[in-house]
A and B are shown apart, each in its own frame.
Chain A
Amino acid sequence: MAELSGKYLVGVYDDDDTVLHAVPRLRKAGVKIKEVYSPFPIHGMDEALGHPRTRIGIAAFMFGVTGCCVALTLMIWTMGIDWPMIIGGKDPISIPAYIPITFELTVLFTAFGMVITFFISNGLGPGTHAHPRFDVRSTDNKFVMAIDLGRNSMTVEDISRALKDSGAEEVNIKQF
């Protein structure tokens, strides 16, 4: 269906529960949903759409381990190896005194690493305006479902009807 590529059917809902209930219904009816856009997070929406669980937590853990290692290496090397000094009669390498900075750097690396991962994985960045804007009201009060017609084998009329039946108040066609 070459003539349908880049063409989207956009269902506009005015209620988060309606759109959340509509998703499994439409998927059952065989409609392939590209994405749902909402002004606030709808709990359970990513599972309903069949998105895999985010793995950003694993990345965060890795960044945390990195931060912890960097902090300990820095302190043990500078205080114990590069220029050893006895301070307060203690061993040059005194791990208990290093705990606060180790903690702080672990948090710092985790937070920044995770947020940078978040930006990259969502394609967010300054000057990014590349996302298709299906309906500008999706950041205000509407819940917008986008269906890529190029990837669906059902006819436009069938999908529109299914959208309306599931509670969409408007169904528009967007061409990019």
Chain B
Amino acid sequence: MHVTSPVREPLIQGGKTYADVTEDICRHVEGAPTKEWKIAFGISLLVLAYGTVCLAWTWWEGLGVWGLNKTVGWAWDITNFVWWVGIGHAGTLISAILLLFRQKWRTSINRAAEAMTIFAVICAASFILMHMGRPWMAYWALPLPNAFGSLWVNFNSPLVWDVFAISTYFSVSLVFWYIGLIPDLATIRDRATSKVSRFMYGTFAMGWDGSAKTWARYEYISLILAGLSTPLVLSVHTIVSMDFATSVIPGWHTTIFPPYFVAGAIFSGFAMVQNLMLITRVVYKLEDYITLEHIETMNKVITLTGSVVGVAYITEFFIAWYGGVEYEYYAFFNRMTGPYWWAYWAMMTCNVISPQLFWSRKLRRSITFTFFISIVVNIGMWFERFVIIVTSLHRDYIPSSWAMFSPTRYDIGDYIFSFGLFFTLFLLFSKYLPVVNMAEVKAVLRSTSAQLPAKIAGVAKVRQRGTAEPAFDKDKE
């Protein structure tokens, strides 16, 4: 048992012991905020403040500030909503689907990726509230009886499915994330020196003691939660895509949308995880935990999902021509060569060409290049939603309602609001909670650590007796 195949590189490097893991991860939680953190947090708060002012004016004055007197006026908000929801798919994918596939490399990144997911879904939800115009009426989206002044919600509508899908996804992801946090919160509680932190972490650790019985149940429910979250994460973007696909707008009314949106969501989500993890690993000195191996594996997922997205674009285009529906054909031809050709080609370049560069091993193991591509992919995926929404709407069936879209100051301000919110939440998370799942990393440490300390490693003992092949030995390479 616990023997790693020599062909695999160890997941956790630096010959860490269990105590080292606790020490490395808890250090930034227990220490005072660093200067860099304070500066980053200050900037995020400023951005958030500016966004809040814009948002307040949007709600105070009304959605007219978005220029809603034409068919495409609301495009910006919906683009941002779909973009954030898409980003919010990677975390649960990493923690749920990769758990089912027993991919141990997920243990170093799942905590931060799930946090990123939760914050991205909060940002997405903020755009839903924004476009309601009267957010205090948001509860009307819930199935409330007629006495509230309206009929029941229409359960045939994908927009109502969306309400259920996103709120279920958000709450189940939050629960999944929190369950994973409890053992680590208990670790911090037991190390805490100040009364305040012992109380705070103690309260949220809920009296966790790590008994064998609790761990057995913990593993069991983690598996079921993963099993539930896997179809859930696929269902969310499927339902978001149905918001478009069940309409009769050319360019939206396609059956390819669900798988195409899900692949795109994973694609952009992984890019965002890369983006944040590349910064986090340097700032918190986690290079031994989030290694080049992790970065490379995520790049492979980006290439795979990027290829799915590329195939979807081409299929969609082919069917628009082959299907022989002239409106459909016009919508797609107009995307490529019409007034928004630059958005279409930006999307094609960022999403179809750039991930293919990762076929080169040198490029996918380059941190600078990965960081660059992760931003390119996120820009590309934003343009994808922009292209789908704007180009399909700006040429309506009636030429008199043809229009062009340009964002107003408040459109941009509301988008900035979501960035402020996202980074404020992420910075708070990265300071006050362990960014790496300590318990799970410890559980995979033995089978993956580069140098197995003889004291803690059963493998080293086996090797002395000469009854098994040694585990991966870095010095031999």
Contact = CB atoms under 8 A, between A and B. Distances in A.
B207 A130 contact: yes
B209 A133 contact: yes
Contacts of B146: 82-83
28 contacts: A14-B456, A15-B458, A16-B446, A38-B215, A39-B18, A39-B22, A39-B439, A41-B219, A41-B443, A45-B212, A46-B212, A51-B216, A79-B152, A87-B156, A100-B164, A100-B165, A101-B155, A101-B160, A103-B235, A104-B235, A114-B221, A115-B179, A122-B213, A128-B206, A139-B210, A140-B187, A141-B17, A141-B18
Nearest to B165: A104
A1 interface: no
Interface string A12-34: 00111110000000000000000
Q: Which 9 A-B pairs have the closest CB atoms?
A: A128-B207, A141-B18, A46-B216, A17-B458, A41-B215, A40-B443, A141-B19, A124-B206, A78-B152
A101 B152 CA distance: 15
B211 A35 contact: yes
Interface in B159-190: 160-161, 164-165, 168, 171-172, 175-176, 179, 182-183, 186-187, 189-190
Measured as residues with beta carbon below 8 angstroms from the partner, the interface class of chain B is 35 or more
A141 B439 CA distance: 10
Interface stretch (B115-123, B224-232, B330-338): B224-232
B209 A118 contact: no
A145 to B, nearest CB: 10
A14 B455 contact: yes
Given A37-B211, A41-B215, A60 B224 contact: yes
Interface in B44-101: none
A123 B161 contact: no
Nearest to A115: B175
A105 B202 contact: no
Contact of A127 (B19, B176, B191, B203): B203
Interface string B130-164: 00000000000001001000011011101011001
A72 B476 CA distance: 62
A2 interface: no
Contacts of A124: 182, 206-208, 214
A57 B100 CA distance: 16
A139 B187 contact: yes
A39 B206 contact: no
Interface in A33-69: 35-42, 45-46, 49, 51, 54, 56-57, 60
Contacts of B220: 54, 56-57
A49 to B, nearest CB: 6
Contacts of A85: 151, 154
A82 B152 contact: yes
Given A54-B220, A56-B220, A36 B165 contact: no
Contacts of A125: 206-207
Nearest to A130: B207
Contacts of A137: 190
A74 interface: yes
Contacts of A107: 168, 172, 228-229, 231-232
A122 B164 contact: no
Interface string A90-130: 10001001101101110110111011001101111111111
Nearest to B146: A83
Interface in B401-443: 438-440, 442-443
A97 B217 CA distance: 36
Contact of A90 (B19, B156, B182): B156
Given A51-B213, A129-B207, A97 B224 contact: no
Interface in A127-170: 127-131, 133, 136-141
A174 B206 CA distance: 23
B387 interface: no
A170 to B, nearest CB: 15
B204 interface: yes
A120 to B, nearest CB: 11
A85 B17 CA distance: 65
B218 interface: yes
B2 interface: yes
A75 interface: yes
Given A17-B458, A38-B210, A141 B216 contact: no
Contacts of B186: 139
B348 interface: no
Contacts of B207: 123-125, 128-131
A129 B202 contact: yes
A27 to B, nearest CB: 13
Contacts of A121: 217
A130 B205 CA distance: 12
Q: Which of A39, A90, A121, A130 has the most CB of B within 10 A?
A: A39
Contact of A111 (B156, B211, B225, B235): B225
Contacts of A38: 210, 212, 215
B298 interface: no
Contacts of B218: 41, 118
B184 to A, nearest CB: 9
B257 to A, nearest CB: 14
A36 B206 CA distance: 19
A8 B408 CA distance: 70
A140 B143 contact: no
Given A108-B172, A125-B206, A54 B216 contact: yes
B278 interface: no
